Structure 1
């Protein structure tokens, strides 16, 4: 019987940081960091052990004691792609947590999703949706991955990002991941990069919360209260 709780991270503007911080908060347990798309391998101090194309026995051995294991299959440009279902099942028998990135954003702070994204694993207990506030005030065409998927944005690529645009990117991620609101946390990250827009950001967060989303405004690289921001209390 699987024991690992599967936690997805999607969106843009802080997915790698979110995964790193989640791993740090739980490193006294047995943690697997992986992907269903592509990631660069994590290294120390985030990752204690790296498993490249592991066998079922190798992944179970790596996860047999506390710490953070990063695992995946070699892909292009030095990245890792996802593990097979067989290896994931083996990992689930040994790990306490599987934290995984489920989409890509080309290092931009916001994104829209294709019909094939994100790639959410069966049995995923919770999903963090990240949106980068550093996009605020910049042209859509410069800061939103696949902005052309929205016809009105494609026709006006120079439109400047505001709270309405960011909220629409969040809603797109919610719809794409197909998980209930109760299983989602929205992270409005990089608030330090939009310091002059605090009131507008707060209004956007209230609007999203009124739609049933847990919404947290943060700067994941700097915030000291990560245990509260990234809380998984009650996840089963």
Structure 2
């Protein structure tokens, strides 16, 4: 059994043990009218928690199979990508010479706020993909924007030289190859028009979707023009 699996097993046992003790004491307290746990129970729970943390630090932090991100929702466990779309993005990034790893969350992060909370970064550091439909060309128009920016449809329309229309879920899927919430800045199913929000250059690292609503990858913004073939643009409202 490797270190990662050992941690997961111990974490499960410790969690079940702590919960069982707390539940049992709470039930006993409710019967007897007491409102506090015994000292012995408190020490027992504390020991279980400390041991669980030690296992996390020793076996997970240095494991190549798992990554912990400290976000506002707590420790979010991420693992190397397994979904075919995410694996494809990983291969494309590798072929482009981008040194990064595509990782997956246990739960979808469809919005910039959800992704930022899980990763532990600011919303602005999320490189979100906003998709429109070009009325004349029929192509998908993708704006890779800073997560806290509202995209100006007028500015985007002027930049791509055509009016824009709403892009429905079916159109997004057929044009990009990805579902809404998982549109990556590269590897699209059909030709697209793509713009990069110049405000992303404020950061050393940004996080982008990797083909699914629960997979992401990090990269330096300076790599985006070469990776996507797109230019920086002023797209903010």
Shared fold by TM > 0.5?
Answer: no
TM-score range, shorter chain: under 0.3
TM-score (norm 2): 0.26
Q: Greater relative contact order: 1 or 2 (C-alpha under 8 angstroms, separation 6 or more)?
A: 1
Which structure has the greater CA radius of gyration?
2
